[in-house]
Structure 1
Amino acid sequence: MKGAATRSTLTTEVTMLLTANWRDWYHFRHQQECFKSGSGFEDYVSTVLSRFHNDFVNPDPSGTLGDGGCDGLAESGTIFYACYGQRPARSAERELAAKIGSDFARGLSQWASFHTWKFVTNAPFGPESLKVLTELQQAHVPESERPLTIRLVKTEDLWVEVVGTLDPVVLNELFPGAPGAANVELADLLPLLDALDTSGIVVETGADVLPVPATKMDFNSLPEASRLEFNAGRLLAPRIDRWYEESSDPGLYDAHGERFRALYREARGVTAVPAEVLERLYVSVAGANFRMDGKRANAAFAVVSYFFDSCHIFETPPNEETIAVSEVPDAVAH
């Protein structure tokens, strides 16, 4: 057997499964940072842009030259960022309009490399500010002497275009402490969920993957939506086979199968509706609200359909009981 992890190691070293609405939690933390004034907001913007661009540089002020109106250059100097954190003042709108004009003028005079100028702010953007911005856009149309793309980036734009696109590992570095999923019954399956890359489910080369037998789905009255989930999830069956094969614990598959059987019986004790039983099994594997995370949902479909097909959950039609045993994958047959 390959693999160094035993079942006990997998159980004790498993990483915490984030709550499925982790994206909402990070979005809330982003909004909190965007409520900051002045340099607090500007520092946050610089931090997230440094995670987003691999060559982002925010120049340090230098004597009388200052920073040249630049709060960051990226993509080999082709994207220029200017940033302004709101500052409580009676003339906030006029101050913002003046800031846009002055930052752009300084940047234009001192930096020849950029073709995109982005102004990032959390300040209310009123008519005076919009007037300045549109005048700059009209002055640098494609037919002008120096064509430029000039864009306003508000806090929600910053989330959609930058922060929300970051890898969860990076998001956790920015905002540590995301809550974990509660009541995940099969904690030692979490490494399997992590191992299933469901961003683009495809049949692996050489894999003989068939749809879940319609007779068993018919016998258990599975609704059409559940059948679609199962047939999509079963495309990952070869990867699950390999995961069990590479585990150094030869009894891990059997242990999970028995646990699935127990969870199925518990769910059937609560409801006889097949879709509701399935939902309880999905939650046992992937946590509550798992459908809010598409990749996790696909992983849950794959794992539950795998144990459905190996006859650990739901009922097998009487005339297929002997056939079902022979269909258990060789890597995990017992």
Structure 2
Amino acid sequence: MELASANWREWYRCRHQQECFKSGTPYEEYVSTVLSRFHSDFMNPAPTGTYGDGGCDGIAEAGTIAYACYGQRPGRKAEDELAEKIGKDFKRAFQEWPVFHTWRFVTNAPFGPKATKVMVGLQQTHHADPVRPLKIVHFNTDRLWSDIVGKLSADTLDELFPGVPGAANVELHDLIPLLDSLGSTAVTPNLGDSIRPVPPNKMSFNNLPESSRLEFNSGRLLAPRIDAWYASASDPGLYDTHGARFRALYQGVLAVTTDPGEVLERLYVALAGANPRMDRTRANATYAVVSYFFDSCHIFEEPPGATPSGEEVTRALAN
């Protein structure tokens, strides 16, 4: 399979980032899966009895590359635990696997001063060792993409992240004029408080990935222009029509996948076509429209007891 455009690789990168937002074991399982696709001889030793896993979360290239992996655990003393993990994993792997010359520590946890000092200390001790020189490398989310995941073939990426959007036709074609208007250089009108506050826990309640939250927050800056567009529409029921269609489309997507990130990708494609991120302006317009209907309760679910923000939309359009 060939990627239709560079946009698809960006879509896969977004999916990679979503996986890297996971904590603990799910993140570590993702890393192991990725490495097994990258290295033809990758093995992740299963813990056995008193031997454990030998301080190794993966060995590859005939034993010359050893991996350790750590998914951050919320609610713990992350920096202390991370620093301790680096030191212990390296010491055990160094003793148990005498043939590797490259040690890679893969983590989604932020490196603070303690963790950095431990890593630098290991590098200074072992890089120029006359008997067994070692290359010791920290792999964060970006490096895991650039050095490993991003180098995989399109077929392998599709295997890792099935369901790449490939819609041939825009399903919400009558919203194209709205996207076009948001892509213009028109000044955003001042509509008072028409930027509606979504219930603060709605994104968490629906488990939206951090990358999608950033997209939504960017898109919400265009909410006053969307209000103005609907307010000036010749059809006074256009907003309700679009809202109902968004809700129906959302329900249809849920029949295919319940993964929040995947749901949003399919909504983006339904709105803007097969390459919603090809053009930055178009992408921002797409985020704006989808976040608009998210905030107005048409897609995704309201937390229990939340005040429907759709009422605020109706008030804003009526003013």
What residue number does 2:27 align with?
Answer: 41
Amino acid at match of 1:43: E
Which of 170, 178, 183 is the aligned partner of 2:164?
178
Mapped contact 1:18–1:181 kept (Cα < 8 A): no
Cα separation, 1, equivalents of 2:7 and 2:115: 36
**What is the 5 A alignment of 1:292-303?**
none
What residue number does 1:94 align with?
Answer: 80
Cα separation, 1, equivalents of 2:83 and 2:9: 33
| Offset from partner CA, 1:32-73 (integer Å, 9 cap, x none) | 100110010000000000000000000011100100110000
Cα separation, 2, equivalents of 1:291 and 1:119: 32
Which of 49, 53, 56 is the aligned partner of 1:67?
53
Shift of 1:290: 11
Q: Does 1:145 align with 2:131?
A: yes
TM-score, normalised on structure 2?
0.52
Cα separation, 1, equivalents of 2:274 and 2:12: 18
| 1:291–1:32 distance in 2 versus 1, CA, 3 Å | closer
* Structure with the greater alpha carbon radius of gyration: 1
Cα separation, 2, equivalents of 1:16 and 1:104: 39
| 1:28–1:288 distance in 2 versus 1, CA, 3 Å | closer
Q: Does 1:57 align with 2:46?
A: no
SS in structure 2 opposite 1:61?
Answer: coil
Amino acid at match of 1:135: G
Runs of 4+ with deviation above 4 angstroms? 15-20, 287-292
TM-score, normalised on structure 1?
0.50
Amino acid at match of 1:115: H
Higher relative contact order (CA 8 A, sep 6+): 1
**What is the 5 A alignment of 1:255-294?**
none
SS in structure 2 opposite 1:124?
Answer: coil
Shift of 1:151: 0.3
Which of 164, 173, 177 is the aligned partner of 2:150?
164
Amino acid at match of 1:103: D
**What is the 5 A alignment of 1:211-226?**
none
Which of 109, 120, 132 is the aligned partner of 2:106?
120
What residue number does 2:209 align with?
Answer: none
Q: How many residues align?
A: 176
Cα separation, 2, equivalents of 1:137 and 1:173: 36
What residue number does 1:84 align with?
Answer: 70
| 1:89–1:144 distance in 2 versus 1, CA, 3 Å | farther
Mapped contact 1:81–1:118 kept (Cα < 8 A): yes
Mapped contact 2:2–2:154 kept (Cα < 8 A): no
Structure 1, unpaired ranges of 5+:
1-14, 185-286, 293-334
Q: Does 1:103 align with 2:81?
A: no
SS in structure 1 opposite 2:137?
Answer: strand
RMSD: 2.4
Percent of pairs with identical residues: 65
